[in-house]
Chain A
């Protein structure tokens, strides 16, 4: 089997993690137009929760995943109550600055508590190692990652397309004023969606430790990737985020494998070109 399949596999796994971290931001940006640059701080929080629970409290890896989700969701609720909701009508600049401030604080706090080194976790035995298939190595963890992410994606799509909650979310993303006029409690809806999205980011952060590592600069480093996924995929679009995350994940891995000298250069160029072609994203509203 040619190595390109291995590259694709790794790229898809990476893309899945990016998707989990980005989908929440895409929907909340599309619904409320609130530029939350602190979104990856929630991802980072999820990662550190997992690390702490495993290393300090001996929890099994699986059990830490829901904990990461819940911790990130709770943190987002608190921040939304105290800070964010005053800025829904503020300028983009003010929203950027507020959330950048929160990012700085979160990075400093993480560095203070955990130091600046990479955090390591021991995976359970059944998640380690790799499977040999047709001459290529497929890491078990990545298989697991793809499986979980696909499950969550399907659950998300089902929820958005079939439930009343999902319909309300779609309405609010499509036309907030009209949705309010129809009696939908957009503010409450947003709070729930925000918590859900941040929780997913936390989960993504926890799952990402094994493939990209975790240190206090995570909140800023991966913010850039998440922003690329969100702006390329289109605000408010789950399928857009998915497509963009896959595109980005595969391009990044392929770039680093085939042309290592280029590094992240390619990603940024691709983003600029894609944004110029479709300023509201591949699947965004025009």
Chain B
């Protein structure tokens, strides 16, 4: 078995390895996430919320950017995770790490069950079904006010210190440390997944789902796996929100949240892992800056932004950047 053809000095495996290596912009990015601790300590609570939302956007990227599943109801798993962690705490067990695990389990189970439906449909039917699942859960949560607290949301959540030492307080150091650590660890897992044979299969599904059975792939199994994983991650993000903000309301599983995360991901650029992170950061910083604004006006500008992005920058910020760098390279 030849491992290299004549005149080809680099083995294909080595070439692929070079492709998957950590690039310096990535390292810069993650170092930069530490900056809020020193530069803007008064914004650590906001930074924590950004990290949580970025994690949520990352989970959507896995199914949308890497597998082509358009979901208008992904918040269902986020909210499910939030309510699980919130209820656990409300009922007396406020330990955060076990709360995360339980939330991951619940969201993952629901994701697994719904994935049987998701895997079987495409196009409009699929979009509608994802919307429907989100709406069903939202309505159910609304009706079951005796568990969820209904419109007012869950009260009485108190999160215990992590490992008995790090308390969640108004300064936000623990909040941001917690959510950033969660984001980074799960990002590492997602990055590995994307560079695995499974990641390749997902791209195959996204590029040409009809061809997949013709090379012997069982697309249903692949889709169900990634959808469950994405649901688990979304559930973890939701649980983190519940634990750090110590509130959970109906909007955590509402259509608005599903639409918002979709906007963030598109803004940043799908299928690049970092798109959701960047989109979330840009969106939430902007929203914080304009928070004095009437919510109507906010949605006016978001609507315009969405139209502009789709018309001018369909691959989002990261897509635009990579286009610029390619043009710069070609010109030089």
Contacts and interface: CB of A to CB of B under 8 A. Distances in A.
Contacts of B123: 92
B259 A100 contact: yes
Contacts of A83: 307, 311
A56 interface: no
B303 A104 contact: yes
Contacts, number: 116
Contacts of B181: none
B143 interface: yes
Interface of A: 29, 35, 83, 86-87, 92-94, 96-98, 100-109, 111-112, 116, 216, 220, 224, 227-228, 231, 235, 261-265, 268-269, 271-272, 275-276, 279-280
Contacts of A35: 124, 127
A105 B306 CA distance: 10
A264 B135 contact: yes
B43 to A, nearest CB: 27
Interface in B170-201: none
Interface string B128-156: 11011101100110110000000000000
A203 B142 CA distance: 32
A98 B299 contact: no
A247 to B, nearest CB: 15
Interface residues of B: mostly helix, strand, loop or mixed? Answer: helix
B143 A265 contact: yes
A227 B128 contact: yes
A264 B314 contact: no
Given A104-B306, A105-B300, A108-B297, A275 B129 contact: yes
B305 interface: yes
B20 interface: no
Interface residues of A: mostly helix, strand, loop or mixed? Answer: helix
A18 B328 CA distance: 53
A99 to B, nearest CB: 9
B306 A100 contact: yes
A227 B121 contact: no
B302 interface: yes
B139 A98 contact: no
Contacts of B289: none
Given A97-B262, A97-B310, A228-B128, A263 B303 contact: no
B162 interface: no
Nearest to A108: B300
Contacts of B70: 92-93, 96
Given A107-B296, A263-B139, 15 more contacts: A93-B266, A94-B310, A94-B314, A100-B306, A101-B303, A101-B305, A104-B303, A105-B300, A108-B296, A108-B299, A224-B255, A268-B132, A268-B135, A271-B128, A275-B132
